[in-house]
Each structure stands twice: as structure tokens, then as C-alpha cells.
């Protein structure tokens, strides 16, 4: 009889242990199921923030364009002018990594002979283009003013840009999310509820585009007199807009 009672209590203890673990498993399963259900009580708020951007680099694009009948001589003359321009730019403490060849082209010019009814090469055009990044803005007018006397006969544009715009975008985004949270807290308090976890969020940051100033192209030919314009980089505003959805408790 005593052995039977011992066996009974052992079985009961084992049953209780099994039920305990089954209860834990069931609770976790119900918790996961509950988390997977759509949240019906939420609040969505939007906020934006703006930051002022001041450009820190300028880019100048220019070309040496020549025409003639002898391609070898044409290429040689163009190269001499571009080398002189590059040497001058380097003399202004502009690093080689900020000087980039954009175009190097020698192409024939075709005309049509009505009598012979066929095209023929009437000459050649040599084009060499360079893009220069300037970090010291006091050098902009100096470079623009000197280039024509070195044989540069086309200056396409001057643009101002930010070398690392992400730092400004991140700052605007952070401010916008802080404003969204403060707004959500205030709205929840006014309606007698509390904020829960974030269930969704998105962000739309404004794009930053370089400020481009057109500079009238100089006529093809020899060096011409050129007075560099006073060009100011100015500033731009970049905005970030965010939307956050919170669960309500």
C-alpha cells in the first residue's frame, strides 16, 4: 500500500511538472500569436525639420576647343594650352586629386559635296575638358580670370556643392524624429492614453542639388579678355519629413 502511494505521488509530481512546461509553451505561443495580430489602436504623427547648408566646395568646368586641318598639330597645340592651364591651377595650391580630365576628343568635321554627292573631311576639332574642385573659395575668381589668357576658350559653369551632405541629412532626420515623438506624447496625454512601441515609421529627406552658375562660353579661337564675375555660393535649406506610428496602451 505504501509503495502504491509513493508511486501515485511520483506520478502526480511528474504530471504537475509536465503541465507546468506545457503552460509555459502555451503562454509563449499565445504571446507570439498576439504579437502577430494587427494592432487596432495606433496613432500616426508627422514632423519635419530644416537645416541650413552652406556649400564647402566649388567645381569649375572648362575646355580648350580648336579647329584646323592638321590633326597632329591641332592635338599638340591643344595639349600645350591645357598643360599650361593645369600648371597654373596647381600653382594655386589646388591638389592633383581635385583636377580631373572630363573630355579628351579629336574628331573630324564632315561636309557634303553636292557635285560629287559624297561627304568629305574638311577639318578636325580637338576638345580637351577639365573639371576642377576648389575648396578655397578665394581662388575661384583668380582661376576664372586667368584661364582665358592660357588658351582656355570655353568655361561651361561654376557649381557649388557639399562634400558630405549626409551629415546634414542625418541631423535634419534626427531633429524630425524628436519632434514627432514629442508631438505623439502630447497628443496621447491630451486624450488620456499612453504610447506603446513604434510599429511603423518612414522618412522623406529633401534632396540637395548643387547650385550651378552658368558662365557664357567664350568663342572658339585664341585667348580673349575675360573679367571673372563675382560669384557667391549662398546657402540652401534641406528638410527632412518623418512619419511614425505608435501603438496605444
| Strand extents, DSSP E, the chain | 42-53, 57-68, 99-113, 118-134, 154-161, 195-205, 211-214, 236-248
Residue whose C-alpha cell reads 559624297 in the numeric block? 118
pLDDT band at 126 (very low <50, low <70, confident <90, very high): very high
pLDDT at 106 over 80: yes
For residue 88, the SS3 value is helix
Say yes or no to pLDDT of 19 above 90. no
Question: What does the pLDDT read at residue 94?
Answer: 95
- Nearest Cα to Cα of residue 75 among 83, 66, 84, 62: 66
- The answer to whether residue 7 scores a pLDDT higher than 90 is no
On the question of pLDDT at 207 being above 80, the answer is no
Residue 140 near residue 213 (C-beta atoms within 8 A): no
> How many CB atoms within 10 Å of residue 106?
15
Find out whether 153 and 218 touch, Cβ atoms under 8 Å.
yes
Residue 223 pLDDT > 70, yes or no?
no
Better-scored residue on pLDDT, 207 or 132: 132
Query: 127 Cβ partners below 8 Å, 6+ apart?
Result: 63, 64, 65, 78, 103, 104, 105, 106, 107
Q: Which residues pair with 77 in a beta bridge?
A: none
Nearest-angstrom CA–CA distance, 84 and 130:
12
Lowest mean pLDDT among 14-28, 57-71, 155-169: 14-28
Q: What is the pLDDT of residue 164?
A: 86
Domain boundaries, the chain: 1-37
In 3D space, the residue among 69, 90, 57, 230 whose CA is nearest the CA of residue 160 turns out to be 57
Q: What is the pLDDT of residue 103?
A: 92
Mean pLDDT of the chain: 82
Distance (Å, whole) CA 158 – CA 213: 5
Residue 49: is its pLDDT beyond 60?
yes
Q: Which helix (H) or strand (E) holds 18?
A: helix 2-36
pLDDT of residue 4: 63
For residues 159 and 132, give the distance between their C-alpha atoms in angstroms, rounded to a whole number: 10
Question: CB count, 10 Å around CB of 246?
Answer: 26
Q: Is residue 119 within 8 Å of residue 189, measured between CB atoms?
A: no
Amino acid at each position: 500500500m505504501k509503495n502504491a502511494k509513493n508511486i501515485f505521488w511520483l506520478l502526480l509530481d511528474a504530471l504537475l511538472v509536465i503541465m507546468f512546461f506545457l503552460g509555459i509553451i502555451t503562454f509563449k505561443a499565445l504571446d507570439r500569436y498576439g504579437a502577430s495580430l494587427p494592432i487596432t489602436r495606433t496613432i500616426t504623427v508627422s514632423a519635419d525639420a530644416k537645416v541650413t547648408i552652406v556649400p564647402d566646395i566649388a567645381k569649375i568646368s572648362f575646355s580648350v576647343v580648336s579647329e584646323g586641318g592638321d590633326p597632329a598639330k591641332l592635338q599638340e597645340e591643344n595639349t600645350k594650352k591645357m598643360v599650361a592651364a593645369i600648371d597654373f591651377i596647381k600653382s594655386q595650391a589646388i591638389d592633383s586629386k581635385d583636377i580631373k580630365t572630363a573630355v579628351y576628343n579629336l574628331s573630324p568635321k564632315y561636309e557634303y559635296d553636292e557635285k560629287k554627292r559624297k561627304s568629305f573631311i574638311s577639318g578636325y576639332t580637338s576638345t580637351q575638358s577639365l573639371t576642377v574642385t576648389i575648396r578655397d573659395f578665394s581662388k575661384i575668381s583668380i582661376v576664372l580670370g586667368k584661364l582665358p589668357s592660357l588658351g582656355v576658350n570655353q568655361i561651361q559653369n561654376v557649381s557649388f556643392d557639399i562634400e558630405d551632405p549626409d551629415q546634414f541629412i542625418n541631423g535634419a532626420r534626427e531633429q524630425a524624429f524628436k519632434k514627432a515623438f514629442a508631438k505623439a506624447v502630447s497628443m496621447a496625454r491630451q486624450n488620456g492614453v499612453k504610447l506603446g512601441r513604434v510599429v511603423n515609421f518612414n522618412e522623406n529627406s529633401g534632396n540637395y542639388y548643387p547650385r550651378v552658375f552658368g558662365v557664357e562660353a567664350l568663342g572658339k579661337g585664341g585667348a580673349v579678355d575675360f573679367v571673372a564675375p563675382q560669384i557667391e555660393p549662398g546657402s540652401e535649406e534641406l528638410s527632412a519629413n518623418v512619419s511614425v506610428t505608435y501603438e496605444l496602451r
